[in-house]
Structure 1
Amino acid sequence: MRLRLAATAALALTITACAPSTSSPSSAPSDGGERTGTLKVWLFDEPNRPPKEGVVQAAIAEFTAAHPGTKVDVAYIPVETRSERFKGAFNDPASAPDVVEYGNTDLPEYAAAGGLADLGATVSGWAEGADLGADAKASATYQGTLLGVPWFVGVRALYYRTDVFAELGLKAPASQADLVTAAHTIRAKKPEMFGIAVGGKYTFGALPFVWDAGGDITSINSPQSRTGLKVYTDLIRADNCPPQQCADLTGGKTVDLFASGKAGMGIIGNFNRAAVDAGAAKGKYAVVPLPGSQPGSIAPAFAGGNNLGIMKNSRRPALAADFLTLLAGKKYQARMYAAMGNLPTLKSARDEVAGKDPFLKPFLSTIDAGTKFVPLDPGWGKIDASAVLPTMIEKVATGRATVEQATDEAATAISAALTR
């Protein structure tokens, strides 16, 4: 899940939205509930809320104009306390909102609580629903039931310093072998830099290597997973990114290192663009998809992002569906990209913004090549909170455990969490 996107883009978008759907969730009353009154909406707060709020207010104005007698009351809830707020809403339906924004990795926990409505009928009756890709819908589906509409997505690709590559006669990596060679060359020729910033606490930087090798989180001690993990942890070495400095490196610190000019490459998200441009690397970098082991292939990336859902106990499910499909539609996805850098989930909206911003091409190519996701199981929250995967990576990187020992330990913890 990615809860805040910092990138900005100056896009003047004049896209005509299709009419909002009037379908109601299958769990809703047959009459669709009340058609007037106040619709309660929970959206995540942002450090820089005004751009997001401006887009949302425009959608509200359009919605209320088309639905006389209605109001939309939006509460911006802190990301840090979202779990407690949602648990309270699940336990007290009378005070619950109608439409909610939630992180896609929150889905299993919320689905297990039974608080989200089935949106299968809503999306089927929504003209733009067919524009959602299979990967996007899968990240909002739990045990065969669609419980959200993906609102935006974030993926990572390989940022590299064009000036450093040119100076050393290197080409943009087209395979894992190219990446490793480039990393070692940069470190050898420019010892003040890391070849590629990689860290023991950067789970979503490491997982593409595991997935590319045919492994997965749920089979983390398989031969395939071990092969991919070894490629990644072998980069946390003195000849690229020394463990003394990189064993506890997070994704955020990776961005900082690349942005400040201390790394020749970094596995960084489309949503980190503004942070990179705020540093010494501005104007001196390019982006390509993170290459896989086969020349010309793309390593699978984690598709983080947020969904829009409807609470199962909404008194106005049909009205909620109308507002959700308006806000999640092409028009407002494009406006959210312009305001916040949020990468659209609708292909037509992605094509629209990509046509105006070539920077997005490697990220869209990554999505088109196929993305991966965390286990859709309530136990994932425990795995994440217990830092099972970062601990595994750190132990290998620091020599406290072999790949075999660390993956066996992690597999035991993962299995216990997912089978409860």
Structure 2
Amino acid sequence: MKLSARIAVPVAALAVAGLAVTGCAPSTSDNSAKTDEKSGTLRVWLFQEVNNKPKEEVVSAALAAFKKDHPDAKADITYIPVDTRAQKIKAAFNDPKSAPDLIEYGNTDTAGYVKDGGLADLTKEFEAWPDAKDTDPAAKQSVTVGGKVYGAPLFVGVRALYYRTDVFKELDLKPPATLDELTETAKKIHKERPELYGLAVGGAYTYGAMPFIWANGGDIANRAGGEGAYTAAIDSDAAKRGIAAYTALFGDDNCPAAKCAQMGGNDTVQAFASGKAAMAIGGDFNRQAVEDGAAKGKYGIVPLPGVKAGQIAPAFAGGNNIGLLKSSKHRTLAVDLMKSLAGKASQNKLFDAMGFLPTYTDVREDAAKRRPYVAPFVKTLAAGAKFVPATPAWATIDSSLVLPTMFQEVASGRKDVDAASAAAAKKMNAAFSSAG
């Protein structure tokens, strides 16, 4: 989902509104268009940013390029609020007459929108598009359901480790090379500087915790035979090692559970930005918040380390996509406009204008050369980012706070890892079963 400065919560939390409404609902009737008109006005819904002007300028440039090739076509751009997009897009799926041709949507929304029957299958067009060959695998996965492609990735966002360079210098520390070293370093800092969290962690910070699970060889869920079918893996031995590693950071020797168990991603980043933490797991999209805080000029960023030295812990690949509605009567034109909006030129401009990481590996590498602070995030993506299960059930799991509840139960001592992960797996499997 959207990962800009206007939203500093975990990505899937942003998609709850849309997916919770649509995830378990029956698919809409077949609203597929029967014509493909080569002229007329295309309607496009894009997300409204806190500071929308830079985005509007990038979109205007993309439209100008599109109009050169399609002088008989026009585009009507509407910027919609993210918070109310769920109802608006759901209504569009059910009312083709007022529906847009193209929409911007969060990448965790994909499976739910496909199940609702709202998005068009663009597999052939995507595979024939020259730009697409350089798409990051995790980004492509975010538009893929059941082996079919339902749009084009627009940008991607991942998290890395922010650390206070002044504190590390004072205590003669180096950025940790493994997750064990991360824990040791965090506890050493808190012992020497008790006014600081060594590493700010949150019991409600799902996407800060997932790298610990993935780095330990675990996963959230595994495919279970049929298309889109999953079964919970959060209670596997490998996943439990990751849960134990993450929840070990909650305590009086780093980040007290009484304060930190309820914290989300925004809270942990704010703790770092305000000077209350020596380390935090934050995204490229959080950098401006850090720049605006007390940590400005006193921090560095490195990839979150893995279990062994030299490894990078897999990160969740968030971001947004552009998709075509099945009901569009301008399929050819709309696909071309989608390519213009999400192509390499536009993504390059979006990065320069707003800091959104490109989904193309070559464009991203060039961006890192222009702005070195991007390098840790680019390295993290290159090491292999992960995505949530491609099923509408994820909305139920996410909105029901299944994983945060599990982390909080362990962090607070209410349950041990075995009991908490077993309870979470049971809830997840119920959601997977209901999603059918």
Question: Which category of TM-score, normalised to the shorter sequence, fits these structures?
Answer: over 0.9
Contact 2:247–2:407, Cα closer than 8 Å, also in 1? yes
Identify which of 338, 341, 345 aligns with 2:359.
Answer: 345
Aligned mates of 2:382, 2:312 — CA distance in 1: 10
**Post-superposition CA distance 1:214-244 (Å, at most 9, x none):** 1111201111111100010010111000011
Residue 394 in structure 1 maps to residue 405 in structure 2: no
Identify which of 161, 166, 177 aligns with 1:174.
Answer: 177
Question: What is residue 201 of structure 1 aligned with on the other side?
Answer: 204
Question: What is residue 330 of structure 2 aligned with on the other side?
Answer: 316
Contact 2:166–2:299, Cα closer than 8 Å, also in 1? yes
Q: CA deviation at 1:69?
A: 1.7
Contact 1:3–1:79, Cα closer than 8 Å, also in 2? no
Aligned mates of 1:378, 1:238 — CA distance in 2: 38
Aligned mates of 1:84, 1:279 — CA distance in 2: 35
Q: CA deviation at 1:419?
A: 1.4
Amino acid at match of 1:65: K
Aligned mates of 1:252, 1:93 — CA distance in 2: 37
Q: CA deviation at 1:28?
A: 12
**Post-superposition CA distance 1:3-46 (Å, at most 9, x none):** 43469xxxxxxxxxxxxxxxxxxx99999711111011011111
Aligned mates of 2:358, 2:4 — CA distance in 1: 14
Amino acid at match of 2:169: A
Q: How does 1:48-197 map to 2 (within 5 A)?
A: 48-197=51-200
Contact 1:5–1:342, Cα closer than 8 Å, also in 2? no
Moved more, 346-355 or 252-261: 346-355
Q: CA deviation at 1:80?
A: 1.1
**Post-superposition CA distance 1:251-292 (Å, at most 9, x none):** 001110000111010000001110000011111111110001
Matched residue SS, 1:229: helix
Aligned mates of 1:371, 1:249 — CA distance in 2: 24
Aligned mates of 2:343, 2:429 — CA distance in 1: 38
Question: What is residue 410 of structure 1 aligned with on the other side?
Answer: 424
Matched residue SS, 1:343: coil
Contact 1:140–1:307, Cα closer than 8 Å, also in 2? yes
Question: What is residue 280 of structure 1 aligned with on the other side?
Answer: 294
Unaligned runs of 5+ in 2: 8-29, 222-232
Amino acid at match of 2:316: F
Matched residue SS, 2:300: strand
Residue identity (%)? 51
Aligned mates of 1:93, 1:194 — CA distance in 2: 52
Aligned mates of 1:5, 1:317 — CA distance in 2: 33
User: TM-score, normalised on structure 1?
Assistant: 0.93
Q: In structure 2, do the counterparts of structure 1 residues 413 and 61 end up closer, same or farther at CA, with 3 Å as the change threshold? A: same
Question: What is residue 257 of structure 1 aligned with on the other side?
Answer: 271
Contact 1:155–1:303, Cα closer than 8 Å, also in 2? yes
Contact 1:149–1:328, Cα closer than 8 Å, also in 2? yes
Aligned mates of 1:5, 1:300 — CA distance in 2: 22
Q: CA deviation at 1:65?
A: 2.8
Aligned mates of 1:270, 1:3 — CA distance in 2: 8
Question: How many correspondences in the alignment?
Answer: 401
Question: What is residue 380 of structure 1 aligned with on the other side?
Answer: 394
Contact 1:199–1:249, Cα closer than 8 Å, also in 2? yes
Question: What is residue 293 of structure 1 aligned with on the other side?
Answer: 307
Q: CA deviation at 1:192?
A: 0.3
Q: CA deviation at 1:358?
A: 0.7
Runs ≥4 residues deviating over 6 A: 27-32
Matched residue SS, 2:163: strand
Q: How does 1:225-264 map to 2 (within 5 A)?
A: 225-264=239-278
Aligned mates of 1:386, 1:29 — CA distance in 2: 33
Aligned mates of 1:285, 1:220 — CA distance in 2: 34
Aligned mates of 1:232, 1:133 — CA distance in 2: 28
Contact 1:39–1:70, Cα closer than 8 Å, also in 2? yes
Q: In structure 2, do the counterparts of structure 1 residues 37 and 256 end up closer, same or farther at CA, with 3 Å as the change threshold? A: same
Identify which of 335, 341, 348 aligns with 2:349.
Answer: 335
Q: CA deviation at 1:348?
A: 2.1
Question: What is residue 356 of structure 1 aligned with on the other side?
Answer: 370
Unaligned runs of 5+ in 1: 8-26
Amino acid at match of 1:213: N
Residue 38 in structure 1 maps to residue 41 in structure 2: yes
Contact 1:161–1:285, Cα closer than 8 Å, also in 2? yes
Q: CA deviation at 1:133?
A: 2.2
Amino acid at match of 2:194: P
Aligned mates of 1:31, 1:385 — CA distance in 2: 36
Matched residue SS, 1:80: coil
Aligned mates of 2:32, 2:255 — CA distance in 1: 58
Aligned mates of 1:350, 1:31 — CA distance in 2: 38
RMSD of the alignment, in Å?
1.7
Contact 1:160–1:287, Cα closer than 8 Å, also in 2? yes
Q: In structure 2, do the counterparts of structure 1 residues 30 and 6 end up closer, same or farther at CA, with 3 Å as the change threshold? A: closer
**Post-superposition CA distance 1:350-401 (Å, at most 9, x none):** 1221110011111011001101111111111111111111111111111111
Aligned mates of 1:49, 1:168 — CA distance in 2: 42
Matched residue SS, 2:83: helix
**Post-superposition CA distance 1:95-153 (Å, at most 9, x none):** 11111110010111101011111111111221111111222111110011111211100
